[in-house]
């Protein structure tokens, strides 16, 4: 009959196994809970459009993203689409704008009406706060500042030459490409004068 193993001899292998499990679990937890890598060139702070004097409004025409929006897997697609959309408005390029929106939106805003509505508009300080998937579509929460001739101010703020907008833009795929769809009545834009 073999001699019994003294109690202190089995303690060392058990401690080695326990310490190994604790260290391995800690390393695994660190990987699971660490912050994801973020591209510094895409993630920007909230622009201070409110701090700009009226003469410097609407601010830069570059689309920026909050850290939250930059986490969405489609953020680069959204950023490119919205940059083209706002560039088209700022350069009064209806054909370029048409390439960014759905057929329904084009039908609702033919060239003559679009040119009249955006005749003096300049958009800037464009910030995407959040991008959410909704079924096969996306919803983009964004804010921007627009300046325009006071006679062409939005109905919500008659006579305003500078307006801060916050709204949800619906994006949908049409013919395989993401497009800006019509803003729905369940989420009307929020507007305030600068």
pLDDT in tens, 121-170: 999 999 999 999 999 999 999 999 999 999 988 888 999 999 999 999 99
Going from the N-terminus, what domains does the chain have, and what CATH number goes with each? 49-193 (3.10.450.50)
Radius of gyration over every alpha carbon of the chain, rounded to an integer in angstroms: 27
Look at 39 and 84; give whichever has higher pLDDT.
84
In whole angstroms, give the CA distance from residue 102 to residue 117. Answer: 18
Per-residue model confidence as pLDDT tens digits over 171-189:
999 999 999 998 876 677 8
One-character DSSP codes across 92-148: T-HHHHHTTB-HHHHHHS-HHHHHHHTSS-EEEEEEEEEEEEETTEEEEEEEEEEE-
The answer, as to whether pTM is greater than 0.75, is: no
């Amino acid at each position: 009959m073999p001699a019994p193993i003294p109690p202190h001899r089995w303690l060392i292998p058990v401690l080695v196994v326990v310490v190994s499990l604790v260290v391995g679990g800690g390393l695994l937890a660190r990987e699971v809970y660490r912050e994801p890598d973020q591209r510094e060139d895409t993630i920007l702070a909230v622009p201070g459009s409110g701090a700009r004097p009226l003469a410097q409004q609407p601010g830069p025409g570059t689309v920026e993203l909050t850290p939250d929006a930059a986490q969405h897997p489609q953020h680069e697609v959204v950023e490119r689409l919205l940059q083209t959309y706002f560039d088209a408005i700022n350069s009064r390029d209806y054909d370029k704008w048409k390439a960014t929106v759905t057929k329904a939106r084009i039908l609702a805003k033919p060239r003559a009406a679009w040119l009249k509505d955006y005749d003096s508009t300049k958009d800037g300080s464009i910030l995407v706060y959040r991008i959410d998937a909704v079924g096969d579509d996306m919803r983009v929460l964004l804010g921007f500042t627009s300046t325009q001739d006071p006679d062409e101010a939005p109905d919500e703020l008659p006579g305003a030459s500078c307006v801060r907008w916050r709204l949800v833009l619906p994006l949908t795929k049409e013919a395989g490409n993401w497009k800006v769809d019509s803003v729905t009545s369940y989420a009307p834009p929020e507007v305030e004068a600068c």
